Structure 1
Amino acid sequence: MNRKLGLALALAISCGANATAGALSPVEQRIVAEIKAHSPQAIALLEQSAKINSGTMNHEGVRAVGALFRQQFDQLGFKTEWIDMPPEMQRAGHLVATREGKQGKRLLLLGHLDTVFERDAKSPLWERQGERARGQGVSDMKGGDVAVIEALRALKQVGALENTTISVMFTGDEEEAGNPKSISRRDMVELAKRSDIALGFEGAVTRDGQAMGTVGRRATASFELDVKGHQAHSAGVFGSAGYGAVYEAARILDTFRREVVEPGLTYNPGVILGGTEVAYDDANSRGSAFGKTNVIANTATVKGDLRYLDYAQRDRTQARMREIVAQSLPGASAAITFHDSYPPMAVTPGNLKVLEQYSQASQDAGLGVVGSLPAEARGAGDIQFVAPYVDSLDGLGASGSGAHSPNEEVELASIERAAIRTAILIYRLTR
């Protein structure tokens, strides 16, 4: 984040923290009352959706959750459709619900139907534990999906959806986006281009009791090192036979660690294979290596993850990495390649404005100030594909813990809070 945006954010949060909570309008009070009155049914909907396994590769399960939520949007008067992906992509598809009007801002609401828990996962589908519930995807992100539906339901009940333009897209492959992403995210980008603001409902984060919105996310990318050495008897290492591929790989990675350092930048060599024979299966993320201790390794492969704040940081990082790779040890050589995946969600004045409006809605509802989560504190998310085209805010979903683990759980009351904040924000944006 540059200094100007940083000061703007600090000012916005400071002003929000010191502001006196404004009163809700009579219509907004009715919206809140509708959400609170319907909270038991919201929890029942979450339970119903959680009891359907919808791991990304369980296409039948993803479609079943999509059908469940589609019924809700149909009842709210949205036009709904299921968008299938090409069979070769091996993804279930996406649910889209739309309505068109001429009043206020045009909104795009994003969620996802899939979870990381595939058919054979041992984690419980649903276990109610007092005011919390444990289950597959309850916070990431079926709780957020339910919050979207509940916010829109309350707006419908008070007549506030009339003449508004709202698009909702629940993807079926957020946890493992289908390739090519130009196809799997094509419809999302097209919706964004016809919208003014995008809101994402990934799980809400709290710090020291304060809710935090997401105005930026780092891009995700990958790098691959292909290292070659001179195969020879190990007695010649460090001398005429050179250093071999494994030492060269180690030199490169350690130099990265020491010299390629910037705030918000990370890179992780997740897999390394070296020896005289190396094979790696990209589709299944596993490989094998053969070698002997008395033979200098002639090949090494490194697969890594790269995360950056913006394209300028990406370009600087890649240039410096290439320079380091080119400084080969005797008897070795290497090449590095990069592959972009998710684009960055840059921190922009527009994003900060949406956060300010969301925080004000929260304060007016008596739910407190919403702060800003650093971009490096969140992983990749669908909203990154639309952020280049539209002002965006993410992290508006339910609060929980243990995401992507057998202990994933959701604070059930957070669904009501998320729905209230969202409904008031949507109401104000669409006036």
Structure 2
Amino acid sequence: MSLLKFSQALIFTLASTLPLTSHAALNKNEREIVKQVEQNMPQALEEIKQAVNINSGSLNIEGVKKVGAIASEQLKAIGFKVEWLDGSAFNRAGHVLATFESKNPEAIKILMIGHLDTVFAKHDNFITYKQIDEHTASGPGVADMKGGNTIIITALKSLQALNLLENVSIKVLLTGDEESSGRPLSLSKQAIVDGAIWADVALGYENGDNNIKTAMAARRGYTGWTLNITANAAHSSQIFSDSVGDGAIYEASRILNDFREQLATQPNLTFNPGLIVGGTNADYDSANSSATAFGKSNVIAQTVHVAGDLRALSPKQVEGAKKVMQQIVAKSLNGSHAGLIFEDGYPPMGLTEGNKKLLALYSQASQDLGYNKVVAANPRNAGAADISFAANHVDMALDGLGLMGSGAHTKNETADLTSLNKNTAKTALLIYRLGQL
């Protein structure tokens, strides 16, 4: 029987024969898993604190390597073979790759994805871990996603302590550039693709939409774009004349408004101009996401640069949006010329039947533990993530399984610590059950 058909049969059996009261649906091994996870919670909290207190912004090579070294030791301690994949070829620190190979040749293969880096720069006014109350902690990357990394490792530690990993082969990949991807993507994301080609199932531990009642069975992809416009410079009194034209800023306004009018009603499609600079002289520094300009109110603007992103739920939707955007750009106003450049980005993670079945397995584990049903999150409620590079290579993929929280990417980031035990137990139970397929 195929993996997907067997998982479907398992879901039906569990749903039809087992009561959904707290722990009543668990067998002896599964009840031991719950106890082991609970025993590991104090150490898990300490490990989150240790990781959060290291500044590991994507461009802080030393900091990312320090967090990677700690995770490597934790994975080695539970019997994983650990490698550091150097990232100098794509201008980032690198990745941790940890492997556990089952002796069972029929064992299901699972890729578990996290990331070591945060959005906080090396020279930021760094804020350390703080326990706000019994259920809440704060700190840079506490939920996105150092808490998620800890859930991965603690779940595996709990299973290994009970000798319950024998029917699964696992690769844990903790990337060092999720928040600011190294270039080219063909190198920086190669380890994810390779792991996914090896695997049957991919599990991602981003915090998704931060709702413990949902998981990401689909994610929108991300594509960056830059709009560059040049026009005739002249005294402002000559604007709109046949000999001079409308200027670069009016051309930018036309294009952006046409984007909105022609594409904004498409479901799950968004396109955001995040930076715009224009004037007589305008320079955009894409590497540092900064810009400078000079212009006067009595001079027609000669140059405009706009930087934005495009997010969609399918490759077809991405290509359709790109085509419309290029058509709009091509209809230049008098006296101006515009060019639109798209960069390589994150592919979409579509809502496949396999992903739905994996979500159902995860939801069943949650309910059998006495927790809530888990449903598919709205893809509009979360950004792109590394799992998108894996999703098209596996039978099943699911993301958003990490530590819940709020305020990600800000100085006010917090973690909901009530989700630590719950989501670790769900993961451990899901992996154990996948091994029984």
Q: Tell me the TM-score normalised to structure 1 length.
A: 0.92
Aligned residue in 2 for 1:255: 258
Of residues 79, 82, 86, the one that matches 1:80 is: 82
Q: Who is 2:238 aligned against? A: 236
CA contact (8 A) 1:204 1:211 kept: no
Counterpart secondary structure, 1:340: coil
In the alignment, the residues of structure 1 paired with residue 79 and residue 167 of structure 2 have an alpha-carbon distance, to the nearest angstrom, of 12
| Match of residue 225 from structure 1 | 227
Equivalence for 1:142: 146
Instruction: Tell me if structure 2 keeps the 8 A contact 1:174–1:381.
Output: yes
What amino acid sits opposite 2:260 in the alignment?
A: R
Out of 421, 427, 430, the position equivalent to 2:432 is: 427
For residue 280 of structure 1, what is the aligned residue in structure 2?
284
Q: Give, in angstroms, the shift of residue 173 of structure 1.
A: 1.3
Query: Deviation at 1:34?
Result: 0.6
The aligned counterpart of 1:412 is 417
Amino acid at match of 1:60: E
Matched, 1:188 2:189: no
Please name the residue that 1:100 is paired with. 101
> Does structure 1 residue 268 correspond to structure 2 residue 253?
no
Unaligned runs of 5+ in 2: 1-10
1:126 matched to 2:124? The reply is no
Q: In the alignment, which of 162, 165, 171 is matched to residue 166 of structure 2?
A: 162
Per-residue displacement from partner, 1:260-289 (whole Å, max 9, x unpaired)?
Answer: 231111111122222222222111111222
Q: Is the 8 A contact 2:44 2:154 kept in 1?
A: yes
Distance 1:324-1:115 versus aligned 2 partners, 3 A rule: same
Q: What displacement does 1:228 show? A: 2.3
Residue identity opposite 2:98 in structure 1: A
Does 2:114 match 1:111?
Answer: yes
Q: Aligned letter for 1:100?
A: E
Residues 13-39 of structure 1, C-alpha deviations (whole Å, 9 max, x = no match): xx979x942610110000001111221
2:312 maps to: 308
Question: In the TM superposition, what is the alpha-carbon distance from 1:90 to its structure 2 partner?
Answer: 2.9
Q: How many Å separate the matches in 2 of 1:379 and 1:330?
A: 38
Q: Secondary structure at the match of 1:341?
A: coil
Q: Distance in 2 between matches of 1:253 and 1:293?
A: 22
SS of 2:430's equivalent in the other structure is helix
Instruction: Give the secondary-structure state (helix, strand or coil) at the position aligned to 2:410.
Output: coil
Q: Which amino acid aligns with 2:327?
A: E
Aligned equivalent of 1:197: 201
Aligned residue in 2 for 1:328: 332
User: Is the contact made by 2:91 and 2:183 (CA closer than 8 Å) also made in structure 1?
Assistant: no
Q: Give the aligned partner of residue 6 of structure 1.
A: none
Query: In 2, Cα distance between the equivalents of 1:64 and 1:206?
Result: 27
Aligned residues with identical type, % of pairs: 44
The alignment of Structure 1 onto Structure 2 pairs a total of residues equal to 416
- Is the 1:278–1:290 contact (alpha carbons within 8 Å) kept by the matching residues of 2? yes
Amino acid in structure 1 at the alignment position of 2:76: D
Structure 1, gaps ≥5 residues long: 1-11
Picking from 372, 388, 402, the partner of 1:397 is: 402
Task: Note the 1:19-98 alignment, pairs <5 A.
Answer: 20-21=19-20, 23-86=25-88, 89-98=90-99
- Report the 3-state secondary structure (helix = DSSP H, G, I; strand = E; otherwise coil) of the residue aligned with 1:250: helix
CA distance in 2, matches of 1:157, 1:254: 59
Name the CA distance, whole Å, in 2 between partners of 1:255 and 1:224.
16
Deviation track 1:74-98 (CA, whole Å, cap 9, x = no partner) reads 1111111111112x53311111110
TM-fit CA distance, 1:358: 0.4
Please report how far the alpha carbon of residue 206 of structure 1 lies from its aligned counterpart in structure 2 after TM superposition. Answer: 5.0
| Whole-Å separation in 1 of the counterparts to 2:115 and 2:355 | 21
Q: Of residues 342, 357, 361 in structure 1, which corresponds to 2:361?
A: 357
SS at match of 1:303: strand
Structure 1 residues 16 and 335, CA gap change in structure 2 (3 angstroms): farther
Contact 1:268 1:304 in 2 (8 A): yes
- Partner of 2:6 in structure 1? none
Q: Classify the secondary structure of the residue corresponding to 2:357.
A: helix
Structure 1 residue 365: deviation in Å?
0.8
Other structure's SS at 2:213 match: strand
Q: Quick one: distance in 2 between partners of 1:135 and 1:420?
A: 24
Indicate the residue corresponding to 1:8 in structure 2. none
- SS of residue paired to 2:181: coil
- Pair 233,120 (structure 1): closer, same or farther in 2 beyond 3 Å: closer
Task: Name the aligned partner's letter for residue 255 of structure 1.
Answer: D
CA distance in 1, matches of 2:63, 2:335: 53
Distance 2:168 2:255 in 1: 55
